């Protein structure tokens, strides 16, 4: 009996110690009210933890975009795509290396400048449909064509399939811009999270392969390193909708060479010669520290950078302009930087 009581007391003491440690460990900052509504809406759809699933299962989970749609529905607002942009679907490549692209064109005469856009999802989940809101918003706000790329995903197509597809899409746009009412001399690249990685990797590839450089790179909380002990990884280890275990899961399935800068751009010996960059960061995001470090590295290597961090919002906030005011601000910031870059090349 005494032994049982002793073990019970020990277990209780251990739980108290663990609870105290958790309370003392860094915790994510509090999301602002609009952002929290989206997080709550997504949580109400009962998503399972991505890191516990197979890639096939993970791709079926409710996304932050579904959270936005639920918030709009709860507010009795339309969930239909924002009007004023036409979308045309095409295919790039051939055989096993072919993939769809989706061309978002704003109203007006053209020819328009173009941005090749790469969606997020850790190279494993999500697609252009999940990230439809971003190219749609930027097409209108920057008055530019957005070519959104459904690059092949891991683990079915491990590294370097995604960067190879991303670069092929960029080259396709250079060659076919006039056919889509675009200006081949004013082509930028951009993306979110894994897509931000691909955008800057395409810029590196263009430099290294002596191909026409993008006029600008828009990097929204890009994945650029595999150091999971940065300050933001520690503070946001358990953040929503992106946390540390999810990032480990993404890296495992992607299969990128950790020494290859085309997998992890922070590993590059030099970033000299890359196009000017706009970097958007979120406070509640494991990737915050590396995004700032990448901005600093670009600057050190002589690349012009416009960097902006948004407080009270999480990874994936960009593209939520319909319901999150700071997302609308970030979209406008990105669009303004794109317009400046395009105007400089007229």
Render pLDDT for 113-161 as a digit per residue (tens, 0 to 9).
Answer: 999 999 999 999 999 999 999 999 999 999 999 999 999 999 999 999 9
Render pLDDT for 164-201 as a digit per residue (tens, 0 to 9).
Answer: 999 999 999 999 999 999 999 999 999 999 999 999 99
Render pLDDT for 78-113 as a digit per residue (tens, 0 to 9).
Answer: 999 989 999 999 999 867 789 999 999 999 999 999
Q: What is the pLDDT of the chain when averaged over all its residues?
A: 93
Query: Per-domain residue ranges for the chain?
Result: 27-50+67-74+81-344
Q: Which residue is catalytic, options 150, 285, 289, 306?
A: 285
User: Under CATH, which number does the domain 27-50+67-74+81-344 receive?
Assistant: 3.40.50.1820
**What CA–CA distance (Å, rounded) separates 178 from 110?**
10
Render pLDDT for 47-67 as a digit per residue (tens, 0 to 9).
Answer: 999 999 999 999 999 999 999
Our answer to whether residue 183 is catalytic in this structure is no
Our answer to whether residue 193 is catalytic in this structure is yes
**What CA–CA distance (Å, rounded) separates 170 from 212?**
10
Our answer to whether residue 176 is catalytic in this structure is no
**What CA–CA distance (Å, rounded) separates 201 from 224?**
9
Q: Which residue is catalytic, options 148, 193, 203, 289?
A: 193
The answer, yes or no, to whether residue 13 has pLDDT greater than 80, is no
């Amino acid at each position: 009996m005494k032994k049982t009581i002793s073990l019970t007391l020990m277990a209780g003491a251990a739980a108290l110690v663990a609870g105290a440690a958790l309370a003392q460990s860094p915790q994510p900052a509090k999301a602002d009210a609009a952002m929290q509504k989206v997080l709550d809406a997504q949580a109400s759809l009962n998503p399972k933890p991505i890191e516990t699933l197979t890639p096939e299962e993970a791709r079926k989970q409710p996304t932050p975009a579904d959270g936005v749609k639920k918030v709009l529905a709860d507010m009795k607002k339309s969930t239909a795509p924002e009007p004023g942009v036409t979308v045309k679907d095409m295919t790039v490549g051939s055989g096993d290396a072919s993939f769809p692209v989706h061309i978002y064109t704003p109203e007006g005469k053209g020819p328009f400048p173009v941005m090749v856009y790469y969606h997020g999802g850790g190279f494993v989940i999500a697609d252009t449909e999940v990230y439809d809101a971003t190219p749609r918003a930027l097409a209108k706000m920057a008055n530019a064509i957005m070519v959104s790329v459904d690059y092949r995903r891991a683990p079915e197509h491990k590294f370097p399939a995604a960067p190879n597809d991303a670069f092929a899409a960029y080259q396709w746009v250079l060659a076919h811009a006039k056919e889509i009412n675009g200006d081949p001399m004013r082509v930028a690249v951009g993306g979110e999270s894994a897509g931000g990685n691909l955008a800057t990797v395409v810029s590196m590839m263009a430099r290294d392969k002596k191909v026409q450089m993008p006029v600008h790179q828009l990097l929204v909380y890009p994945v650029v390193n595999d150091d999971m002990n940065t300050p933001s990884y520690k503070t946001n280890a358990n953040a929503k909708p992106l946390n540390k275990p999810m990032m480990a899961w993404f890296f495992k399935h992607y299969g990128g060479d950790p020494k290859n800068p085309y997998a992890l751009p922070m590993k590059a010996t030099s970033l000299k010669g890359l196009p000017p960059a706009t970097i958007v960061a979120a406070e509640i995001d494991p990737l915050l520290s590396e995004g700032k470090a990448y901005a600093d590295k670009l600057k050190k290597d002589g690349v012009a950078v416009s960097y902006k961090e948004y407080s009270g919002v999480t990874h994936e906030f960009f593209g939520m302009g319909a319901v999150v005011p700071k997302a609308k601000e970030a979209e406008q910031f990105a669009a303004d930087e794109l317009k400046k870059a395009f105007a400089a090349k007229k």
